[in-house]
Amino acid sequence: MFRDALGLEVTAASQAAVDAFDKTITAYLDFANDTGARLKEALTLDPAFVLAHCFKGYLFHLMGAKALVPRAVKELELAQAGAAHITAREQCHVRALAAWCQLDLQGATAAWEAAIRDNPRDLLAVKMLHFTHFYMGDSQSLRDSVGRVWPAWHEAMPGYGYMLSMRAFGLEETGAYDEALRLGLRAYEINPNDAWAVHAVAHVHDMRDQRVEGLAWLDQTVVSGGTQWHNFRYHLLWHKALVLHEMERYGDVLALYDSAIWDAKSDEYLDLANNTSLLLRLEMAGIGAGERWQALAAKVQGRKDEHLLAFVDTHFMMPLGVAAPDHAAQFLESIDAYMDGADDTYASVAKAVSRDLCAAVRAYQAGHHDACVELLEPVRALVHLIGGSHAQRDVFTEILIEAAIKAGRHTLARSLLYERVSARPKNARAWKRLAYVLRQLGDVDAAMSAMRHAAP
């Protein structure tokens, strides 16, 4: 029995293997390109390393591609083969991977929660919980799963900065922006490679409509640094594009998309989600994305039967709806068949909300705005169940607002925009949209007042 950098017992063939695994987890938490190489080193030092096999299985699932699920199952088998003499904590990880291989995110979450209950310093379990709570749309647990171990950590411990950045993001997603900003900045100070810290701070600026600060932060941390980060760098640049979009600098958004966010070779779901939602936002602002939609549709049309994350499917529908209508129809049929036949996390979310959300996106992209409103408006309070952040899911609120306007349902659009400016009084674009709707309703004085709010 050996111990990792945090003092936890690890079953492995040597201390060198455990040290290599520590470096693997650090690389993973840094979003570093060499995570796979580090893991390979740990497994070379100990080919029967149970926790390393679990983590390798996690990585296959984290890629969010159905084709990789059998490879995760293979890692589960390797982990189970060595599971006779492992610790209770390691058994939790094996159970978590087993549940994940059944596409049961609740089961995986329960296993990691058990791990951190007895081992509050299990950084890997905390990070995995951060993923599942995020993609199950549970922002309270996103915050509180870190809270459940928080007092067991202190600044002198290795990895403390990652706890800060996870805590910061959970606080941001639950509206505690001051504390989120403080912890996010401290995490970045401890470790400028912590992309999650950069990300948490970017989200705070976004939610507060602090455009100048948001742009400066991302230029400082991402554009002029962060070259060691893997594709998550695209998501951070997507955040920069969102800032530019809110500033109505649409030409700059498109230029950033073409030069730094679009990656013709990438099939990663987060990249595809970044790309699709950005193009749709541009389209809603009246900026045609042209052939970029075809390029995206080509990437997703072969993945219509995957159904791993509802969040991803709602984004896959965006290019299909506009550039491949036949595929969009087949995609919806595939979702219907899956949710009728399966009993996993995806199926339950599809039944509750994401099937209708996908249909609403398809309707919007097809120009059927009234149908879009009819599908989306009843489920809008449940959209969080698809997972993702407030900033990411905001595209669906924008779709509903634009569909309501285009369908001539101006009082609905007005109420949605009232709601939006009430929550985000500094959001100039929303005030301008509201002014437009008020003019359509003949309320000229109120429109002028809304425009005054939109002024910088």
Q: Which residues bind Fe ion (CB under 5 A)?
A: 389
**For Fe ion, the closer CB: 205 or 433:** 205
Nearest distance, CB of residue 237 and Fe ion, angstroms: 11
**For Fe ion, the closer CB: 145 or 389:** 389
321 near 365, Cβ under 8 Å? yes
User: Which residue(s) pair with 89 in the sheet?
Assistant: none
Q: Can you tell me whether residue 363 is helix, strand or coil?
A: helix
Nearest distance, CB of residue 388 and Fe ion, angstroms: 8
Query: In sequence order, what are the residues at sequence separation of 6 or more whose Cβ sits closer than 8 angstroms to the Cβ of residue 325?
Result: 366
Backbone angles phi, psi at 447, to 5 degrees: -65, -40
CA 260 centroid distance within chain:
19
| C-beta nearest to Fe ion: residue | 389
Terminal alpha carbon distance of the chain: 62
**For Fe ion, the closer CB: 243 or 332:** 243
**For Fe ion, the closer CB: 345 or 389:** 389
Taking each helix axis from N to C end, the angle separating 195-207 and 177-190, rounded to the nearest 10 degrees, works out to: 150
**For Fe ion, the closer CB: 193 or 389:** 389
Nearest distance, CB of residue 146 and Fe ion, angstroms: 17
Nearest distance, CB of residue 274 and Fe ion, angstroms: 9
**For Fe ion, the closer CB: 149 or 241:** 241
Residue with tokens 């403390």: 160
Scanning 104-218, the segments in alpha helix (DSSP H) are: 105-118, 123-135, 139-147, 160-173, 177-190, 195-207, 211-218
Query: In sequence order, what are the residues at sequence separation of 6 or more whose Cβ sits closer than 8 angstroms to the Cβ of residue 418?
Result: 434
**For Fe ion, the closer CB: 191 or 389:** 389
Widest distance between CA atoms in the chain:
76
SS (H, E, C) 258-286: HHHHCCCCCCCHHHHHHHHHHHHHHHHCC
3 near 9, Cβ under 8 Å? yes
**For Fe ion, the closer CB: 49 or 262:** 262
Scanning 407-443, the segments in alpha helix (DSSP H) are: 410-423, 428-440
* Dist CA 240 CA 222 (whole Å): 9
Nearest distance, CB of residue 384 and Fe ion, angstroms: 15
Nearest distance, CB of residue 135 and Fe ion, angstroms: 13
135 near 388, Cβ under 8 Å? yes
Nearest distance, CB of residue 447 and Fe ion, angstroms: 33
**Number of other CB atoms surrounding residue 216 within 10 Å:** 13
Nearest distance, CB of residue 414 and Fe ion, angstroms: 29
Nearest distance, CB of residue 236 and Fe ion, angstroms: 8
Nearest distance, CB of residue 199 and Fe ion, angstroms: 5
Task: Compute the residue count for the chain.
Answer: 456
Taking each helix axis from N to C end, the angle separating 428-440 and 390-406, rounded to the nearest 10 degrees, works out to: 20
Which of these, 201, 168, 210, 182, lies nearest to 424 by C-alpha position? Answer: 210
**For Fe ion, the closer CB: 309 or 350:** 309
**For Fe ion, the closer CB: 32 or 236:** 236
